[in-house]
Amino acid sequence: MNKKTVPFTEEQIRSIIAKYPTPFHIYDEKAIVDNVRKLIKAFDWAHDFKEYFAVKAAPNPYLMRLLQKEGVGADCSSMAELELCDKVGISGHDIVFSSNDTPYEEFKRAMELGALINLDDISMIDFMEQRGPLPDWICARYNPGPLLQGGNDIIGTPEEAKYGMTREQIFDAFRILKEKGVSHFGLHTMVVSNELQVTGLIHTAKMMFELAAEVQELLGIDIEFLDFGGGIGLPYRPEESFIDYDELSAGIKQYFEAIMVPKGLEKCRLSFECGRAITGPYGYLVTTAIHHKHIWKEYIGVDASMANLMRPGMYGSYHYLSVMGKEDAPKDHVYDVVGSLCENCDKFAVDRSLPEIVDGDILVIHDAGAHGHSMGFNYNGKLRSAELLLHADGTVTQIRRAETLDDLFATIDFSNL
Ligand SMILES: *Cc1c(COP(=O)(O)O)cnc(C)c1O
């Protein structure tokens, strides 16, 4: 269970809306900081533990700076995300570049910034070497494929995922890289997504410890960096529960002590690349009800659309919805809450029991702080919304303005028309 609350009153949000019209995304600064501190503290037993925030989840430099101050690094997978790191002042091993199908310019930029390069495939060794020097530190991404079966049925089906290398390729890649003079090695994997069962996450860590131990036995390589990827889940539904970081940490510690410590690998840096778990629950999409219609079903039309939050339309994801000022009102109406795209999947909620909604009501869509604004798009000429940061004292900073039609048309030269 988790209680879905909002960090502002109706009066507060209406005064924010008076300055910044809906729709917008608003992030709760204090809640993000408290949350990431809790995660880092849970792993204080681990030497040099690092959370690398998956920039794609919320690529806003102000959020990155906030996290940077807490000792959080950045997990990047594109040129734009690397450039954002440069602007924020994140560099060196505070960046892990976990990309796939990577153009060389992106490897090059990542190496310029001193990032830890995480190779998605064994073919990347030749690909990089033909174009320039290899970095001295290399991490390899592992895809256990069907080998994971029997371990834990919570973990999905990695053999269907495009990422990473097979077990054999990991050993081959490290052998080749060692011959070529690479001297520092890491291992990465990401086999779960939005995982709410702590055992699935612990099992991933155990699998990686065992792999690191085998790499040492077979190749004489001491793994210095282990990255468990992202994937800590978010309880989107009120009946679901948050992952308990202390429980996660204790489970991982147990296997670390049993597998890594006896190998002399106690100094290995452990890390996560969580995005969703860090900002997801603390970002809200705020929108106004502007229409209602009654046909075969009851509809509420809002001024946000799937262009502001793609998850419900793309994955059928559930997002909790609050109607400001009606938090305690009986949920005696059943609505589809929809945006204005000419796509019938543009619905924030389907057959949802809610209090009666009238035009002008403020609706808050919860858990939109990761893979929310960042997945925004311009279909139907919809403009991406503003992003606001709500401070602990109730004040607000606009950390990205809303797009304008001029932004949308900026790439068209109308003079040749
Ligand atoms: C998407 C992604 C993440 C972040 O996933 P979350 O679900 O936001 O935790 C981390 N690492 C890699 C390589 C990813 O592709």
The full DSSP string for 69-101 is TTT-EEEE-SHHHHHHHHHHT--GGGEEEE-SS
- How does strand 283-294 pair with strand 362-365? antiparallel
Q: What is the mean pLDDT of residues 215-232?
A: 97
Reduced to 3 states (helix: H, G, I; strand: E, B; else coil), residue 346 is coil
**Is the CB of residue 193 below 6 angstroms from any atom belonging to ligand 1?**
yes
* pTM, 2 dp: 0.96
Find, among 6, 73, 1, the residue nearest to 390 by Cα: 6
pLDDT of residue 158: 84
**152 pLDDT exceeds 70?**
no
Count the Cβ atoms, other than its own, within 10 Å of residue 141.
24
**154 pLDDT exceeds 70?**
no
> In this predicted model, what pLDDT tens digit does every residue of 254-297 receive, in sequence order?
999 999 999 999 999 999 999 999 999 999 999 999 999 999 99
> In this predicted model, what pLDDT tens digit does every residue of 77-133 receive, in sequence order?
999 999 999 999 999 999 999 999 999 999 999 999 999 999 999 999 999 999 999
pLDDT of residue 150: 47
Of 118, 190, 317, 374, the residue with max ligand 1 atoms within 8 A of its CB, to mutate for a pocket test, comes to 190
Of 191, 273, 278, the residue with max ligand 1 atoms within 8 A of its CB, to mutate for a pocket test, comes to 273
Q: What is the mean pLDDT of residues 217-241?
A: 97
Radius of gyration of the chain (CA): 23
Classify residue 43 by its DSSP letter. Answer: T
**Is the CB of residue 81 below 6 angstroms from any atom belonging to ligand 1?**
no
**Is the CB of residue 192 below 6 angstroms from any atom belonging to ligand 1?**
no
Reduced to 3 states (helix: H, G, I; strand: E, B; else coil), residue 321 is strand
Distance 71 CA to ligand 1 centre (A): 18
Task: Give dist(CA 67, CA 73) in Å, integer.
Answer: 8
Distance 232 CA to ligand 1 centre (A): 9
> In this predicted model, what pLDDT tens digit does every residue of 165-188 receive, in sequence order?
999 999 999 999 999 999 999 999
Strand-pairing partners, residue 128, are: none
The 10 Å CB-count burial string (b at 16+, else e) for 197-206 is ebebbbbbbb
- Per the CB < 8 A criterion, the answer to whether 51 and 227 are in contact is no
Q: Please, which pLDDT band fits residue 151 given cuts at 50, 70 and 90?
A: very low
Which residue's alpha carbon is at the smallest distance from atom 10 of ligand 1?
230
Reduced to 3 states (helix: H, G, I; strand: E, B; else coil), residue 26 is strand
Helix (H) / strand (E) element for 17: namely helix 10-19
